[in-house]
Amino acid sequence: MDRSLHLRERLGLVIDPELGASIVELGMVGEVEVDETGHARVQVSLTTLGCPLRAQIDRDIREAAKSIDGIESVEVVMGVLEPTAKAALMKKAREIAQRAAPLTTIPLRTPVLMIASGKGGVGKSSVTANLAVALAMTGRTIGVLDADIWGFSLTRLLGIHGDVEARGAKMIPLERNLGSGRIRLLSMGMLAPEDQALLWRGLVVQKAVAQFIQDADWSGIDYLLIDTPPGTGDIAMTLARILPQMGQILVTTPAIAAQRVAVRAADFARKSNIRVIGLVENMSGFECSCGLHHDLFGVGGGSALSGELDVPLLAQIPLDAAISEGSDAGVPFALGEPVSGVFHRLAEVILTDIAPPVGASGCSARLLDALERAVEAAN
Ligand code: ADP
């Protein structure tokens, strides 16, 4: 297929975080060109240029372009929609909202972060648990799905145990309050004993994961974090199909070997239309009680990888016995201050930059409401 057409098709998967619909379908994408040197130029018109979610749309467009072989560089030209185009977009957004029968109780506007890694043991589940806690401590409700089907651990890490109950035909996640926020958790481990789940393969696994999204009551959550099995896989693809707004945060260690598998995982994600939105380097150095710093797994891996994949390095988390001790006790590290600052900073980056909550930053949605009122008043 012609690369420009291919790119336009991929841009159809980029969701306006506020309007919860594809930027192509909303009529926000203008010219899309890819020249013979592999340089892509995409014109996008926003409802307002000062929109804080602009950075997210810009990043998502670049991610979509990177997934296409032969595209070497990307230029995103942002403009503003003309008033008549804004009115048309508003109409379209309403139509889409009415037409779309939601596949889940999770609105397209709710940010979904898939926490992934190229291989096991790099701290993916620890990062998921502590990030969930740090986000919840800002007063939000954080959904957590442990989809790491062959190694679920989040019930233990978060200290949330119990049997899943159903209301109507929907599973109700188990909850834990944290300050003014809370975590709502579902885990494969709540339904199947570990030795049984280990035998699950292929379609059974995909179906089980889909059920945890579609047949569960996730209403009211501000974010959903999903801990996925390491490596490449069908689970990620199943999730991406049901949750098109999903972005991936890749956890790696500073070791060279970990970087190579992380590159493969990112590559696979992009080929599966999953946006890689950030990296977290875990086990980055160790501070001993004598005050000396040791780089046990090498140094600079995360930033090198960030350059290679062209995605931001969101956090570097040191090796700290308190992280594993907290996990064993079901008291996540991020609950303690000030040592846990690193996870709170990671949460802050996500809240302010990587996947800001929709509404707080309101631009298009609020603007649309104002426009709609103006149109109604004029009629
Ligand atoms: P994964 O989900 O990638 O398999 P886990 O989160 O289960 O990895 O972590 C593997 C082990 O490493 C666990 O025992 C965990 O407590 C420990 N661990 C993870 N990150 C750290 C860290 N930064 N400092 C100390 N121990 C850690």
Q: Where are the domains of the chain?
A: 3-104+362-378, 112-354
Tokens of 70: 């032969």
| Residue 368 pLDDT > 60 | no
The atom of ligand 1 lying closest to the CA of 318 is 23
What average pLDDT does the segment 240-245 reach?
A: 87
* Amino acid letter, 158: L
pLDDT in tens, 19-55: 888 999 999 999 999 999 999 999 999 888 777 678 8
* Amino acid letter, 168: G
pLDDT in tens, 93-136: 888 777 765 677 888 889 999 999 998 889 999 999 999 999 99
Report strand pairing: 313-319 vs 29-34: unpaired
Helices 234-242, 202-214: crossing angle, 10 deg rounding: 30
Phi then psi for residue 30, to 5 deg, are -95, -125
DSSP single-letter state for residue 356: P
Q: CA-to-CA distance for 64 and 228, rounded, in angstroms? A: 21
DSSP single-letter state for residue 222: S
Q: Is domain 112-354 in CATH 2.40.30.170, yes or no?
A: no
Distances (CA, A) of 194 to 119, 136, 164, 188, 199: 20, 28, 16, 9, 9
Residue pair 73/18 in contact (Cβ under 8 Å)? The answer is no
Q: Look up the pTM and report it.
A: 0.83
Q: Specify the pLDDT at position 171.
A: 93
Q: Specify the pLDDT at position 221.
A: 96
Contacts of 108 (CB under 8 A, 6+ apart): 15, 20, 21, 100, 102, 244, 245
Matching CATH number, 3-104+362-378, of 3.30.300.130, 3.40.50.300, 3.90.480.20, 3.40.50.1820:
3.30.300.130
Q: Specify the pLDDT at position 53.
A: 79
Q: Ligand 1 pocket by C-beta < 6 Å: which residues?
A: 117, 120-126, 153, 282-283, 317, 319-320, 323-324, 327
CB atoms within 10 A of CB 208: 18
pLDDT in tens, 266-294: 988 888 888 999 999 999 877 777 777 77
- Look at residue 350 and give its three-state secondary structure: helix
Protein residue with least CA distance to atom 9, ligand 1: 123
Residue pair 71/7 in contact (Cβ under 8 Å)? The answer is yes
Handedness of CA 223, 340, 117, 63 (dihedral sign): positive
Q: Specify the pLDDT at position 191.
A: 75
How far apart are the two ends of the chain, measured CA to CA in Å? 46
pLDDT in tens, 179-221: 899 999 999 878 777 666 666 677 777 888 888 999 999 999 9
Mean pLDDT of the chain: 85
Residue pair 164/155 in contact (Cβ under 8 Å)? The answer is no
The atom of ligand 1 lying closest to the CA of 129 is 6
Of 324, 328, 346, which is best to mutate to test ligand 1, by the most ligand atoms within 8 angstroms of its C-beta? 324
Full 3-state SS string of 225-271: EEECCCCCCHHHHHHHHHCCCCEEEEEECCCHHHHHHHHHHHHHHHH
Residue pair 250/224 in contact (Cβ under 8 Å)? The answer is no
The atom of ligand 1 lying closest to the CA of 227 is 2
